[in-house]
């Protein structure tokens, strides 16, 4: 008889699990016959011993088949989604979903919560009062038909095995494991009814994949496993050696997204930071162009970029964002006036200790600071403070004078910020000369 313990032992010793063994383990996880500690043991064995492509396909399929699937056959148009492997300040989805919809695509986006030092799209959207993350399947389809996009959370019936493993990975140091990442992402994406998927695979000190070679391995496995599940998958490797945009924190990131969406029709509006959102806008347009090209809306990616820029500049994407928020029950008044979004009571400035150029940012440390402030989770059940955050005033390569602001902290009261300020200053390197800044888009697979 094959027991969970024997499966764990086989993987621990470097053996290749059969589809039947993987399916049986996931089925036991769903039924409660496999305990959390056994699931954790198997994930740790996978972390150290890895999985073959066939094992990863079997794991993904078992997680997919552990629950229900959205067919979306009643929704006309090409269904395409985007997923990021996570980072700090990565709020692309909030702009990209309505932008792609404005370009004629249907975007059924099943997003996640914060994982480790990385923020989560669902946590950001929940900072908008009333925003419903779990509409009924019928309502989900209706929003897709009428608005063109919907960003939802994972329901209890969609890939439930992934939901359980996802929470355990966050607290057992198994987040950055390629087979587990692939199975988690693709089981949800296949379940949501999408036909195409653009993957934003982050690389750098703020990403789960620190090295480009590891990110490339992850990207290739996503493409390969996706193809075997009948999904078109394109992977784009992008830099995460500094926070994306100027904001990190749930409500303040929503505000930054609103600023980007409104910029075309309200160019005079000022942001909270001179660092700006140029990299955020550029990455969003580039990923949207891949989605448009995949759907066949334009002849090539050059035309697709032009279309994305147009729909961002003329306010079309901003209108779709408002429609999506309203359709999902969000308080539209907070979107129209972002000052009504949650905001921590204290604003403290952390300043540069000397003059020079910002040459390195420990981006993971920035995410860890946000978690310490309450903007992320140390344990799966932890509440999140939507109002805390970091506003970055300088990017890599920026010139800075001694005493000039590096970041503004939105902090709860009371809270001892001194240890975090020391950690922050240790995580920023200021050099006498400007060093090359990494390219935002590294490669496409």
Catalytic residues: 83, 162, 169, 184, 188
Instruction: Return the exposure string of 89-128: e unless at least 16 CB atoms fall within 10 Å of the residue's CB, then b.
Output: bbbbbbbbbbbbbbbebbbbbbbbbbbbbbbbbbbbbbbb
Write down the H helix ranges in 50-156. Answer: 53-64, 92-102, 121-125, 137-146
Q: Does residue 145 sit in helix, strand or coil?
A: helix
Residue owning tokens 């403070």: 385
For residue 356, give every residue at least 6 positions away whose Cβ sits within 8 Å of its Cβ, in sequence order, or none. 399, 400, 430, 431, 432, 433
Phi/psi at 127 (5° precision): -70, -15
> Is 43 within 8 Å of 174 (Cβ atoms)?
yes
Q: Does residue 391 sit in helix, strand or coil?
A: strand
Alpha carbon distance 63, 61 (integer Å)? 5
Residue 84, strand partner residues: 200
> Is 119 within 8 Å of 89 (Cβ atoms)?
yes
Residue 233, strand partner residues: 197
CA 307 centroid distance within chain: 24
Alpha carbon distance 187, 191 (integer Å)? 6
Alpha carbon distance 407, 188 (integer Å)? 36
Q: Which two tokens stand for residue 393?
A: 């005033």
């Amino acid at each position: 008889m094959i027991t969970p313990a024997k499966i764990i032992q086989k993987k621990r010793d470097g053996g290749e699990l059969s589809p039947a063994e993987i399916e049986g383990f996931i089925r036991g996880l769903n039924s409660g016959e496999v305990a959390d500690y056994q699931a954790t043991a198997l994930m740790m064995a996978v972390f150290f011993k890895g999985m073959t492509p066939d094992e990863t396909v079997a794991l993904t399929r078992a997680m997919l088949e552990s629950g229900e699937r959205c067919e979306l056959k009643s929704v006309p148009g090409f269904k395409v989604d985007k997923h990021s492997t996570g980072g700090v300040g990565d709020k692309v989805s909030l702009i990209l979903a309505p932008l792609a919809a404005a370009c004629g695509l249907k975007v059924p986006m099943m997003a996640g919560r914060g994982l480790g030092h990385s923020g989560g799209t669902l946590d950001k959207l929940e900072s908008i009062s009333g925003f419903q993350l779990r509409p009924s399947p019928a309502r989900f389809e209706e929003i897709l038909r009428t608005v063109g996009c919907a960003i939802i959370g994972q329901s209890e019936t969609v890939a439930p095995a992934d939901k359980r493993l996802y929470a355990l990975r966050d607290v057992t140091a198994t987040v950055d494991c390629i087979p587990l990442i692939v199975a988690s992402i693709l089981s949800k994406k296949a379940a949501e009814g999408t036909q195409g998927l653009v993957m934003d695979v982050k690389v750098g000190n703020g990403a789960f994949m620190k090295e480009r070679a590891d990110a490339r391995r992850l990207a290739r496995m996503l493409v390969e496993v996706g193809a075997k599940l009948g999904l078109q998958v394109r992977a784009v490797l992008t830099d995460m050696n500094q926070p994306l945009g100027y904001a990190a924190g749930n409500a303040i990131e929503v505000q930054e997204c609103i600023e980007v969406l409104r910029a075309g029709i309200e160019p005079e509006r000022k942001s909270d930071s001179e660092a700006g959102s140029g990299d955020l806008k550029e990455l969003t347009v580039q990923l949207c162009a891949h989605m448009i090209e995949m759907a066949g809306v334009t002849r090539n990616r050059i035309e697709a970029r032009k279309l994305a820029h147009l729909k961002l500049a003329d306010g079309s994407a901003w209108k779709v964002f408002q429609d999506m928020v309203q359709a999902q029950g969000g308080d539209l008044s907070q979107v129209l006036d972002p000052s009504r979004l949650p905001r921590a009571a204290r604003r403290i400035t952390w300043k540069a200790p000397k003059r020079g150029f910002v040459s390195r940012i420990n981006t993971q440390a920035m995410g860890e600071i946000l978690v310490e402030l309450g903007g992320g989770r140390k344990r799966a059940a932890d509440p999140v403070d939507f109002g805390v955050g970091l506003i970055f005033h300088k990017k890599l390569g920026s010139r800075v004078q001694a005493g000039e602001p590096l970041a503004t902290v939105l902090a709860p009261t009371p809270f001892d910020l001194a240890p975090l300020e020391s950690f922050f200053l240790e995580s920023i390197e200021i050099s006498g000369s400007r060093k090359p800044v990494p390219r935002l888009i590294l490669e496409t697979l």
